[in-house]
């Protein structure tokens, strides 16, 4: 067993496990010292359902949702969230409501875009954003700019892990936070203490996962 890898249980449901690996990693916006592994949560139907039930609690009785926009491979969880929010007998504000689940595309310039077939599911719609991780908030800000451009109205942000409490005044409801990983650190590349000590990167992290180098 790798001593640098362990699981952390979600505080609201101990059966939800987040895999954590200690090291020196680079994302597109920062350097981090803990890699969060979301593969099991995003691909295992049982784990995805457990995650969806916890995240749906934040929105069941608060705000109507027309569309869930899934970022960073969260489509399976997003589909379950929509099912839970709309299921008959839920007594929530979205009971028996039609909720669409969509994902933006990325163009050749790296900008997020919605194809013509789904733009009507964003324009003038109440939108819930689901994302895997928020470390600096920059990727999420880019997504919110895209949603605003297409005329969507943000009603909530849900994450599997977030080091940020809110964005643009909207709270980020996350299953895991830095409180669950007390020594978690995220740094601008120019301020990374590991780089200053001459420690090489262990891997590159993007929305799909970790690539060791």
151 is in which domain, residue-wise? 46-187
Residue 195 falls within a domain, yes or no?
Answer: no
Is residue 210 in some structural domain?
Answer: no
In a domain, 137, yes or no: yes
User: Which has the closest alpha carbon to 155: 128, 182, 131, 137?
Assistant: 128
How many domains does one find in the chain?
1
172 inside domain: yes
- State pTM to two decimals: 0.92
CATH number of the structural domain spanning residue 108: 3.40.50.2020
DSSP E strand boundaries for the chain? 5-9, 17-26, 31-37, 67-70, 100-102, 105-106, 112-113, 126-134, 153-162, 166-167, 170-176, 186-187, 203-206, 209-212
Q: What is the pLDDT along the chain (213 residues), one digit of tens a residue?
A: 566 899 999 999 999 999 999 999 999 889 999 999 999 999 999 999 999 999 999 999 888 999 999 999 999 999 999 999 999 988 889 988 999 999 999 887 878 999 999 999 999 999 999 999 998 888 999 999 999 999 999 999 999 999 999 999 999 999 999 999 888 999 999 999 999 999 999 999 999 999 999
């Amino acid at each position: 067993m790798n001593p640098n890898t362990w699981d952390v249980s979600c505080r609201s449901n101990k059966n939800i496990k987040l895999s954590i690996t200690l090291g020196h990693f680079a994302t597109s916006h920062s350097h981090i010292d803990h890699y969060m592994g979301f593969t099991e949560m995003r691909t295992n139907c049982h784990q995805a359902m457990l995650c969806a039930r916890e995240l749906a609690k934040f929105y069941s009785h608060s705000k109507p949702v027309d569309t869930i926009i899934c970022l960073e491979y969260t489509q399976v969880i997003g589909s379950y969230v929509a099912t839970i929010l709309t299921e008959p007998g839920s007594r929530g504000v979205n009971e028996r409501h039609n909720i669409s689940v969509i994902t933006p595309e990325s163009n050749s310039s790296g900008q997020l875009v919605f194809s013509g077939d789904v733009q009507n599911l964003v324009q003038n719609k109440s939108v819930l954003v689901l994302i895997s991780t928020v470390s600096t908030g920059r990727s999420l800000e880019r997504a919110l700019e895209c949603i605003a451009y297409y005329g969507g109205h943000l009603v909530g942000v849900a994450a599997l892990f977030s080091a940020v409490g809110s964005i643009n005044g909207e709270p980020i409801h996350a299953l895991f936070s830095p409180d669950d990983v007390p020594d978690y650190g995220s740094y601008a590349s120019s301020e990374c203490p590991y780089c200053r000590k001459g420690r090489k990167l262990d891997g590159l992290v993007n929305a799909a996962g970790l690539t060791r180098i």
